[in-house]
């Protein structure tokens, strides 16, 4: 049988210090009232019920002091059910889905928070949404201009290639014309006598 070691004094002190509200620390009191496990264990309920309370309280994702309040309320609920003669299995089965219960409890707790916190939360959400919108617009603008630049570069390359082809074709036609003109000039200079212009005339001796 495995025997778990007992917590040392330093570990107990550190745990109580970690789970003590700041207001109690300022007053010099080490209460450890935010320890969820200790609060649930103090209710004296069956272990399956304790596990259910712990899962629901953690899934609410509330402040620690609010989760402790949720655990105490759930412990009171199950304690009343056990006092009425119902078994732990019946209470757990009638409780329903823990995730759905955690969502409903979280929604109710958020509505009961102070007004300044709710206003700050709305302002924070609006700021995050505004930043997201600006980021999306910047990304869309960047993509738009990138596509436009790519298209302009492609069109410029196509136009340059077409101009180069036309220039090559004109040069070829020009060379052909020069060759033809050269041949025509050479034929004109030769004349009917079969000599070129500028050559000396040789006369036959009688």
Token pair 């390359």 is found at: 157
- Residue 81: CB atoms within 10 A of its CB come to 19
Contact 24, 30 (CB under 8 A): yes
Q: What is the mean pLDDT of residues 178-201?
A: 54
pLDDT tens column, 24-72: 777 877 777 788 888 899 989 999 999 999 999 999 999 999 999 999 9
Query: What is the DSSP code string of 124-187?
Result: HHHHHHHHHHHHHHHHHHHHHHHHHHHHHHHHHHHHHHHHHHHHHHHHHHHHHHHHHHHHHHHH
Q: Name the DSSP letter for residue 203.
A: P
- Residue 79: CB atoms within 10 A of its CB come to 15
Q: Name the DSSP letter for residue 112.
A: T
pLDDT tens column, 83-105: 999 999 999 999 999 999 999 99
Query: What is the DSSP code string of 100-111?
Result: HHHHHHHHHHHH
Q: What was the pLDDT predicted at 73? A: 94
Q: Read off φ and ψ for residue 112, nearest 5 degrees.
A: -90, 0
Q: Give helix 64-83 / helix 98-111 axis angle, nearest 10°.
A: 120
């Amino acid at each position: 049988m495995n025997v778990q070691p007992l917590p040392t004094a330093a570990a107990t002190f550190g745990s109580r210090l970690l789970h003590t509200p700041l207001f109690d620390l300022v007053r010099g009191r080490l209460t450890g009232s935010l320890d969820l496990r200790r609060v649930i264990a103090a209710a004296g309920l069956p272990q399956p019920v304790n596990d259910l309370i712990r899962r629901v309280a953690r899934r609410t994702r509330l402040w620690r002091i609010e989760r402790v309040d949720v655990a105490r309320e759930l412990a009171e609920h199950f304690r009343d059910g056990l006092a009425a003669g119902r078994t732990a299995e019946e209470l757990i089965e009638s409780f329903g889905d823990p995730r759905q219960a955690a969502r409903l409890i979280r929604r109710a707790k958020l509505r009961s928070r102070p007004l300044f916190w709710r206003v700050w939360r709305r302002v924070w959400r609006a700021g995050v949404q505004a930043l997201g919108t600006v980021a999306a617009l910047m990304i869309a603008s960047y993509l738009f201009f990138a596509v436009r630049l790519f298209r302009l570069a492609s069109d410029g390359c196509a136009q340059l290639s077409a101009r180069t082809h036309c220039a090559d074709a004109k040069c070829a036609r020009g060379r052909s014309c020069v060759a033809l003109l050269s041949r025509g000039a050479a034929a004109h200079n030769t004349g009917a006598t079969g000599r070129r212009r500028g050559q000396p005339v040789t006369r036959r001796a009688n």
